[in-house]
Structure 1
């Protein structure tokens, strides 16, 4: 197991370096001057040069990349051009809010997706299977930003059961673990959970159907094993793949929540990225993308390790 873990860690290091290089390159390939948002129209050439030196834009791209990586390794992601605050502080606060939202959405999607998938897999080609499969396909197909607006209209504007936006009362960005703040999490979490629910349901349904058709299940039935015992064997065999899918979905939700966070004005990483893009705030954009990408890489590593613990065949291979 130690050798397996060490091998995964070694594979992760070049991936992290490649991700950092792609983040840096894509941001700098975008057209436009990043200092245009803070420079006055009549700014002198001397002032422009001073600001370029201050943010390091006067150096070559390889020099900027090496300096950025070196600072990032020491926890310094630079200073936001638009706000003047430390990028690390803004990104950590925003990623923390997105992580809360993504974890709740993944748990909801995994719970209902697994339920629909197991039911559909056990009752193949029945009306239960068709209903569960239809729900899964609908969840994957419906645009989540549209669903978010529909939920806001129904539950906020008409029924007035849940708040429409923000992370706290009055649109506050501060988070507290109480119902007054938790209710702001309900609508965006449900909206985000729809796509993972559909993907997990379809994956689990295919897994369960394949496992039930294997010879060892026939042997277990012939030995007189109860339905509960067979169900436990099915869960044990389906768990590694289902867990991998859940981990990937959590990673996708961390980085792909821009539209949902914009619809609900949720102060997360997606909302921060949206602001950084429109303000052309390169340090903030680079820092946010780097942190989210590293989260995804580390999450894949954790999923690989947990899969190895659940299924020793993966470690031996």
Structure 2
């Protein structure tokens, strides 16, 4: 096991290096000069050159990349052009908020999809199966930003049951999960984010459990007089590695794909931070946020592999 973990970490190093190249180069493909966002339109060329030199934008791109990479290795992602604060502080604060939102959405999606997918697999070909399949297709097809707007209109504007935006009654600096005044702010964002994972995990669960139930050993268990609940339990145990893999991928997707949802609900996560950095051309924040999210996705894949090994001992890692 330890040899496998070490090997996976070694394999992740070139991936991480490739991610750094992509993160650094991508933000320079957009038109415009980030320095112009800091200066008035009538700023002299001398002032522009001074700001360019201060932030290192006057040097060749390979030199800028090497300087940025050597600093990023030790946790220095630079300073935000807009707020003049360390990028690592802003990214980590936003990352914690996004992890909370994504984890809640994935766990809710898993709870719903696990039940629906198992029912669809057990009653394969029935009306239940067709209904669950239709619901999963709808969940995957609905744009989450559209769903978020609809939920805000219904539950925040029309019914006035839940708040439309924000992370808490006292702003976005503090959040207490165990206080209703705080918890109600997270309900609509989590529901919005969980719809696509519900569809994906439901379809995966239905496919994996259905395949296991068709194996010969299931018929043997039934022939020995094992009850249906015990049979389903054995089937779920064998299907769990595949379900966990999709669940981990969906968590990684939500970590990097929640820009519009966090913007709609004014949730101060990495998506909201990315959106603000894109609008203001804050290159250090863009690079740092994309890099951290990519590394989180790589780490998530490693954790999912280890969970698969723990759940299913048939998977041998050498």
TM-score (norm 1): 0.96
User: Deviation of residue 312 (structure 1)?
Assistant: 3.0
Which deviates more from structure 2 when the two are superposed, residues 24-33 or residues 277-286? 24-33
Q: Could you tell me which residue of structure 2 aligns to residue 280 of structure 1?
A: 281
Q: Could you tell me which residue of structure 1 aligns to residue 54 of structure 2?
A: 54
1:225 and 2:187 are equivalent in the alignment:
no
Q: Could you tell me which residue of structure 2 aligns to residue 296 of structure 1?
A: 297
Describe how 1:1-317 pairs up with structure 2 within 5 A: 1-169=1-169, 171-177=171-177, 178-316=179-317
Paired residue secondary structure (1:130): helix
Provide, for residues 163-200 of structure 1, a one-character-per-residue CA deviation record: whole Å limited to 9, x for no partner: 11010116545323322111100000001000000100
Task: Calculate the aligned-residue CA RMSD, in Å.
Answer: 1.3
| Contact 1:173–1:267 (Cα < 8 Å) also in 2 | no
Which deviates more from structure 2 when the two are superposed, residues 111-120 or residues 225-234? 225-234
Q: How many residues align?
A: 317
Paired residue secondary structure (1:29): coil
Paired residue secondary structure (1:313): coil
Separation in structure 2 between the aligned mates of residue 313 and residue 59 of structure 1, nearest angstrom: 54
C-alpha change, 1:250 and 1:138, in structure 2 (3 Å) is same
User: Deviation of residue 11 (structure 1)?
Assistant: 1.0
User: Deviation of residue 238 (structure 1)?
Assistant: 0.9
Separation in structure 2 between the aligned mates of residue 6 and residue 77 of structure 1, nearest angstrom: 26
TM-score (norm 2): 0.96
User: Deviation of residue 47 (structure 1)?
Assistant: 2.1
Provide, for residues 138-161 of structure 1, a one-character-per-residue CA deviation record: whole Å limited to 9, x for no partner: 111111111111111111112111
Separation in structure 2 between the aligned mates of residue 68 and residue 162 of structure 1, nearest angstrom: 43
Provide, for residues 255-309 of structure 1, a one-character-per-residue CA deviation record: whole Å limited to 9, x for no partner: 0001111111111111111111010110011111111111111111111111122
Paired residue secondary structure (2:124): coil
| Contact 1:4–1:315 (Cα < 8 Å) also in 2 | no
User: Deviation of residue 44 (structure 1)?
Assistant: 2.6
User: Deviation of residue 66 (structure 1)?
Assistant: 1.3
Paired residue secondary structure (1:312): coil
Separation in structure 1 between the aligned mates of residue 317 and residue 158 of structure 2, nearest angstrom: 57
| Contact 1:166–1:173 (Cα < 8 Å) also in 2 | no
C-alpha change, 1:171 and 1:316, in structure 2 (3 Å) is closer
Provide, for residues 18-40 of structure 1, a one-character-per-residue CA deviation record: whole Å limited to 9, x for no partner: 11111111112222111110022
Provide, for residues 186-216 of structure 1, a one-character-per-residue CA deviation record: whole Å limited to 9, x for no partner: 0000010000001000010011111111111
Separation in structure 1 between the aligned mates of residue 272 and residue 98 of structure 2, nearest angstrom: 9
Stretches of structure 1 that go unaligned for 5 or more consecutive residues are none
User: Deviation of residue 316 (structure 1)?
Assistant: 4.1
| Contact 1:276–1:282 (Cα < 8 Å) also in 2 | yes
Provide, for residues 36-66 of structure 1, a one-character-per-residue CA deviation record: whole Å limited to 9, x for no partner: 1002223233322221222111211111111
